[in-house]
Chain A
């Protein structure tokens, strides 16, 4: 009888803690960070993503709905390196939530945790929309993503110390499966090492850095500038000598330019998911890399 009471009390206590602990509101700027936060935070976090895989993270409006979400957030998880410079600072200024301002524990920048690529030697807008702190599309290198996951797990534990052990345990599980997947992907991707690809925008630099893929051209004449037909023609001439493996573009980019270049050169155009939700079946970071590799391997003759 006494035991029963104890059990009831324990169940009640668990119920209470659970509901009061599912309290860390995470505002992820992009779907990849929403997925990572969900994986690492489990049921102790409530995650919203500001954007979807079909939206260009450079060009988001500081919408009222996003201000309302930042207002109630305990933690922002964003790419950083100025990817969100056109909208996030406005959300932060309007929301009146000091917890999530730059420099606070409630503000997490993925790009800040790793060594970045593409840091320009000089800053000049004639070179296009370049980022002073380097290329911000950091999630496409699974090695760097692993470092970011560790830092994010630490941040969760730091913000919510009562659940620190829970976060650490989840991170250990994630880390182990991620390392296994990394080995698997590396073996699978061997035929892609040294491959030459044309990109739409320079959002694949970290992926290429991981696999040793070479970017031989961009559909955008300058980073961030819309595609022009004149540039496509120039690109065609340049690619004739040594045709690349494929032209890749993402779910948030218009397929028109890639298909046009594919038509006039015969080089296959491949749509890649880029982030979680960017293709059917891409429901987390694991399936993101599975699907990306699958689609690239399919075009190898």
Chain B
């Protein structure tokens, strides 16, 4: 009897040890390594006529350089909360900067399809916005993300989402955001200057097709949003600064195909997004003086991209992306608008990007990308070679 008991406890001990092995990654620590080589054909300074650039917007660095290295730590806090922190470590002009990309908690046990997220997070607007850079199918963000959000819209605040108890997937939600970072600029309205509304709907068509459609809206009372300044010879630096009302509306869709729903051999993904921004307010050229040059500003900027990625055999994928933007900005002083970079110079930015990547395993990826970039009048050919590697227990990706 004693022997049987001790045997049983030995077995249960062994089982417990296994259970510990599963949880030995708690909290989960995951590391993304990203390195690049870029070659530009055009040496002039990057601009996107009609759009005030901010954030990390730009074509990146030339030559050998580091990309977006990320360290993420996440775990269930307890039975009610989940928490995650992501830091992006990047070099900017020779200095290493650690940026807090995400730091949020999320409820898991509210039930009824409801969840609340609070802290810093990627806003739920659009489709690509919630994906980390390492999960993108191309090296860089679509031009419309660059033009409107400075690559990606990250903010501090609270998000509420609700999934409907229906056969078809339907999620609706909203966010109340601090609005301090680009493109809201300035924590106006006591640090709750921006908000969003979003809805997503999706499902399957047969066993081989899956789709999702999203609608989203972002609005902010912008206070002193600044964009890259420049100095004329012998004069003080002038920083274009916008204050006023800003609204972005977007529609996004993604469609994925895999034969019999089995994506391991071949699969195809088509995705597209369209955004339009309306802004109303004033732009000043802040040079530190009491009476800087100023103009009223009524802006409309819009753009879309469409991209397709095909995995034609295990490990290998090819992709094609097309970007198109247009700005129509008006103001009382066209000259000041032009100085602020808000004159479209009669140019509609466009870009065609080709990509091929190879993944030895699901944790490593090597990518070659070529872009014919007509962001501004002088066309640029950009060639980029990139590696993206993921270490540690890498969490599941969203659809």
Contact = CB atoms under 8 A, between A and B. Distances in A.
A and B part of one assembly: yes
Contacts of B171: 67, 94
Contact of B169 (A56, A67, A99, A115): A67
Contacts of B314: 226-227
A103 interface: yes
B361 A63 contact: no
Interface string A199-241: 0000000000000000000000010111100000000000000
A33 to B, nearest CB: 17
Nearest to A109: B22
A93 B262 contact: no
Contact of B260 (A55, A92, A222, A226): A55
B396 A56 contact: no
Contacts of B315: 226
Taking residues whose C-beta sits less than 8 angstroms from the other chain, chain A's interface range is 35 or more
Interface in B370-399: 391, 393, 395-399
Interface centre among A61, A68, A125 (most CB of B within 10 A): A68
Interface in A248-264: 252, 254
B114 A63 contact: no
A62 B18 contact: no
A184 B393 CA distance: 43
Contact of B114 (A59, A86, A96): A96
B200 interface: yes
Contacts of A95: 113, 163
Nearest to A90: B396
Interface of B: 11, 14-15, 18-19, 21-22, 24-25, 79, 82, 106, 108-115, 161-171, 200-204, 207, 210-212, 256, 260-265, 314-315, 360-363, 391, 393, 395-399
Which are the 8 A-B pairs with shortest beta-carbon distances?
Answer: A64-B202, A64-B169, A226-B314, A90-B396, A98-B109, A68-B169, A96-B113, A54-B260
Given A72-B165, A101-B109, A125-B391, 9 more contacts: A54-B207, A64-B203, A68-B168, A71-B163, A93-B82, A93-B108, A95-B113, A96-B112, A115-B14
Interface of A: 51-52, 54-56, 58-59, 61-65, 67-68, 71-72, 81-82, 85-90, 92-99, 101, 103, 115-116, 119, 125, 128-129, 132-134, 222, 224-227, 252, 254
